[in-house]
């Protein structure tokens, strides 16, 4: 919007009439002069997203991941990744006097001693289930609508990689509390590593710091 000297507004009201966005214009000017974002920013704001419901399946995955991150941060503040043996003397009476790992003790504490700990644990658990399920459904939608074709092959590769990492993360996640499911899963993970040709036993022993269960894996 260019004005000649003769047309420059004299009063504030005239200025407002000339440029109805004046109150925002100044801010935009400052930012654009430093970052150059006015043109791209407008294109970004004008972006259209498809309205069909099947395009929102990826968002289910996205937001369940956000929930996982938020609840996961909370849980990580109380979780103790240690396999050393301790004896439980806490709020949950049936386990009183039972020898367990510190990791399991911290999980039990999260459930019973930390306020809203059980709720956060449950949210984390169900968000993880929904996460993997929605990734698969989203992947199915991409496949059956052919949205993986050129020019989106890289996108597909990235997505499949994310699926594999999500599954791996889920496995690691449920191995953390060190209960029966966790321990069995870790044992099987150790054995699967062992089965890799040539380097299997090296990999397994290095990752676990010795024979199973070791004391470093958690």
Partner 1 sequence: MLRRLLKNRYLLPTAILVVVGLGGFVGLTTAGAQTHPSTATTAVPTLYTSATTTTATAAPSASTGKPPSTTAGASHGGALVTPPGTTRTTARTHATACRKELERISYTSPPNSGSPKTSSHHSCVNGRIRTYGNTNILYASPPTSFEQAGEQLFQQVCASCHESDAQGGPLAPSLKGVGSGTVDFWVTTGRMPAATPLSVQAQTKPPKLSDRQAAEIAAWVTSLTPAPPFIPAVNTKSANLAVGASLFALNCAACHTITGAGDELAFGTNAPSLHTATATQVAEAIRSGPGNMPRFTGNLTDRQVADVVAYVTEKIQHPTNSGGFGLGGIGPVTEGFVGLLFGVGGLMLVCFWIGDRS
Partner 2 sequence: MSDHDGDVAVDDGTRTPVALPVARFDDPHLQPLARHPARTERLIALTMLAGIGGVVWFGVAYVQNYSSWVLGVSLAVGLLGLGFGLTAWGKYLMPQGPFVEERHTLSSTEEERTAMAAAVTERTQVVVKRRGVLGGLLAAGMGLFGIVAIFPLLRSLGPAPGNLLEETDWKKGTRLVTITGRPVHRDAMQPGGIVTVYPLGLEKTDSGQATDQTVLIRVQDTDLVTMKGREDWAPDGYVAYSKMCTHLGCPVGLYEQELELLVCPCHQSMFNVRDGAVPQFGPAPRPLPQLPLKIDAQGYLVARDGYNQAVGPGYWSRTSTPRQNGAQ
Give the residues lining the site for partner 2 (CB under 8 A). Answer: 1, 42, 46-48, 51, 99, 115-116, 118-119, 122, 151, 184, 187-188, 190-192, 194-202, 204-206, 209-215
Phi, then psi, of 214 in degrees rounded to 5: 65, -170
Looking at the Cβ atoms of 54 and 203, the one nearer to partner 1 is 54
Report how far apart, in Å, the C-alpha atoms of 9 and of each of 5, 12, 18, 29, 50 are: 9, 8, 7, 18, 43
Question: How distant is the alpha carbon of residue 92 from its chain centre?
Answer: 31
CB of 174 to partner 1, least distance (A): 9
CB of 173 to partner 2, least distance (A): 20
Binding at 93: pick from partner 2, partner 1, none (beta carbon under 5-8 Å per type): partner 1
CA distance 108 to 101: 11
Looking at the Cβ atoms of 29 and 96, the one nearer to partner 1 is 96
CB of 213 to partner 2, least distance (A): 5
CB of 98 to partner 1, least distance (A): 5
Two tokens at 94?
């049936």
CA distance 175 to 12: 66
Looking at the Cβ atoms of 94 and 151, the one nearer to partner 1 is 94
CB of 210 to partner 1, least distance (A): 24
What residues line the site for partner 1 (CB under 8 A)?
51-57, 59-60, 92-98, 111-112, 118, 121-122, 125-126, 129-130, 133-134, 137, 180-181
Looking at the Cβ atoms of 20 and 97, the one nearer to partner 1 is 97
Binding at 204: pick from partner 1, partner 2, none (beta carbon under 5-8 Å per type): partner 2
Looking at the Cβ atoms of 161 and 184, the one nearer to partner 2 is 184
CA distance 186 to 78: 22
Residue 178, phi-psi category: left (phi > 0), alpha (psi -120 to 50), beta (remainder): left
Are 178 and 160 contacting, i.e. CB atoms less than 8 angstroms apart? no
| DSSP string for residues in 19-49 | -TTHHHHHHHHHHHHHH--HHHHHHHHT---
Binding at 42: pick from partner 1, partner 2, none (beta carbon under 5-8 Å per type): partner 2
């Amino acid at each position: 919007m260019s004005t000649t000297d003769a047309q420059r507004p004299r009063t504030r009201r005239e200025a407002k009439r000339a440029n109805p966005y004046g109150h925002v214009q100044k801010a935009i000017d400052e930012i654009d002069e430093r970052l150059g974002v006015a043109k791209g920013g407008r294109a970004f704001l004008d972006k259209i997203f498809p309205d069909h419901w099947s395009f929102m399946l990826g968002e289910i995955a996205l937001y369940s991941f956000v929930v996982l991150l938020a609840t996961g941060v909370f849980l990580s503040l109380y979780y103790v990744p240690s396999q050393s043996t301790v004896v439980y003397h806490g709020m949950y009476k049936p386990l009183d006097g039972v020898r367990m790992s510190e990791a399991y003790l911290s999980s039990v504490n999260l459930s019973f001693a930390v306020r809203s700990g059980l709720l956060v644990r449950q949210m984390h658990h169900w968000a993880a289930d929904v996460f993997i399920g929605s990734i698969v459904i989203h992947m199915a939608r991409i496949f059956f609508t052919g949205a993986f074709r050129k020019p989106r092959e890289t996108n597909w590769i990235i997505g499949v990689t994310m699926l594999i990492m999500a599954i791996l993360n889920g496995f690691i996640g449920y191995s953390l509390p060190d209960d029966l499911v966790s321990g069995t899963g870790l044992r099987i993970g150790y054995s699967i590593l062992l089965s890799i040709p040539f380097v299997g036993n090296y990999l397994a022993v290095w990752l676990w710091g010795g024979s199973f269960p070791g004391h470093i894996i958690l």
